[in-house]
Amino acid sequence: MIERKKTMDDAASIANLKPFRLVKFFSYSGLAVFLLFTLVLSWIISNHAKKVLLERSEAYAFVVAENLSHQVFQQFVLPTVVRYGKIALRKPEQFARLDAVVRTATHGMRIQAVTIFDSKENIISYSTVAARIGRTGEGGIEYRKALAGNNNSVVRSTGTLLNLLPGARPITSQLSTFIPFRQYQVNNQKRDVIMGVIEVVQDLSEDVVAITKLQGSIILTSMLIMSALFVVLGFIVARADRIIEARAEERRRLEQQLHQSQRLATLGKMVASVSHEIKNPLGIVRSTADILGKRLKSVAPGNEHLAEIIVEETGRLDGIVCEFLDFARPQEPRMAATSVNEIFSKILKFMEPELERQNIVLETALSQDMPKVNLDQGLIYRACLNILVNSVQAMPEGGKLRVATEYQEATGMALLVVTDTGEGMSLEKQGHIFTPFYTDKNRGTGLGLAIAKNIVDSHQGTISVESKEGEGTTFMIALPAK
């Protein structure tokens, strides 16, 4: 039955925690999905920006190449053919004239290089990059498309986001545009005769670097936002975990208190029933022993001490039964404004002979500023008496007993403090001293401190203990004074 109840409690705990675990799972999953979506979005944005850049750059290159083709034909081809009869770029004067025409036509434009391929063979006849002049086979498929009369472009790029890191190779991007170099008629109309291929190269590195930096900024900003959200969510989750754990601990504590109360209630009923059944016969035995003692005194002098032993022991048993009844049926406090100093004074006067007999030095520090506290004088008297008796019993070979009272205005609590220099207690024992029937003495019921705690609890107060083995113990009762 106990194992089944434990299993049910564990299942209830898991059921209480599962919804929050689902919340954490969906929260973290949502953040991860959002980060992935941001990465995809940054990639889409950067690719779209690059596409728009290429489309505009290509359109610009086509216009420049067409204009350049027209300028070269009008200002170089026609005059050169008229003057020299044919075009021979190996001659310095013809090359210089063509170079001047090209550079004038592209001046102020974002053109990195201009190259003219021959129409009969894949050879570079002219280029603003001198090292390329005379090379063969560099046209590629774009050259052949242009010879067929089709304008086309190709992008040559190197580098990724990683190239933005310090020390990495720079990002480069070039757009090469190929158009056929055609003959023009007098009215500037194109003819189908293709004289070669013109390649116009634009350097787009700066624009691509800017787009790549934008992509990196989006990713970095998203990661920073995600990190901040993760930190905030982690803080919320940690705090929620602590709250749930605290509530679970409080629930377990309340359940333990409930079980303890149920056990004590059952025990109290049994103790009350048994004590009631014992008390009446015990009274009869004591009365009979009194009568027997008187008769023995006259009939058998010298044996009357036997009856006195019976009376003494029945008196002790009666005290134990009374403790059982007090624990089983605690009295309802009858509150009245009372001075706690007077209560301590009465107790100490009552215990003065015992303190002298035990060689215990008494020290008092009763505050004169103590207000009257609303309490049941008889019950608090008994609670304090039980504590003082416990302290005296802890000093069988004498010692020092200190009794003090104090009023804490900030908290509105009246403090009653009892300190002894007795044997002290271990931490384990301190955790059990207020448990009913717990005692390490040869004689006693173990109910004295339990009754004291019940009395203090009924006054909405607290009782605590601090102790060190071999040094002594301090009991503190705190009662609300307001």
Residue 245, domain member (yes or no)? no
Q: How many CB atoms lie within 10 A of CB 349?
A: 9
Question: What is the arithmetic mean of pLDDT over 8-31?
Answer: 58
Most confident of 15-24, 279-288, 389-398: 389-398
Domain range holding 19? 15-203
Number of structural domains the chain divides into: 2
- pLDDT at position 317 over 60: yes
Final residue of a structural domain among 203, 223, 240: 203
Question: What is the arithmetic mean of pLDDT over 143-152?
Answer: 90
pLDDT digits (tens, 9 = 90+) for 192-233: 688 889 999 998 888 888 888 888 888 888 788 877 877 887
Averaged pLDDT of the chain = 79
Residue 5, domain member (yes or no)? no
Q: What is the CATH number of the domain that holds 361?
A: 3.30.565.10
Residue 265, domain member (yes or no)? no
pLDDT of residue 271: 60
pLDDT digits (tens, 9 = 90+) for 110-138: 888 999 998 887 899 899 998 889 898 88
Q: What is the CATH number of the domain that holds 55?
A: 3.30.450.20
Final residue of a structural domain among 144, 172, 203: 203
- pLDDT at position 5 over 50: no
pTM: predicted TM-score of the whole model, two decimal places = 0.47
Final residue of a structural domain among 162, 183, 203: 203
pLDDT of residue 454: 81
Residue 337, domain member (yes or no)? yes
Q: How far apart are the first and last CA of the chain?
A: 47
Residue 197, domain member (yes or no)? yes
pLDDT digits (tens, 9 = 90+) for 382-413: 888 888 888 888 888 888 999 998 888 888 88
Residue 224, domain member (yes or no)? no
pLDDT digits (tens, 9 = 90+) for 413-457: 888 899 998 888 888 777 777 776 656 665 555 667 777 888 888
- pLDDT at position 358 over 60: yes
Residue 29, domain member (yes or no)? yes
46 and 190 belong to one structural domain: yes
Residue 7, domain member (yes or no)? no
- pLDDT at position 373 over 50: yes
| pLDDT bucket at 15, cuts 50 / 70 / 90 | very low
- Strand ranges across the sheet with 413-420: 360-366, 399-408, 413-420, 472-480, 462-468
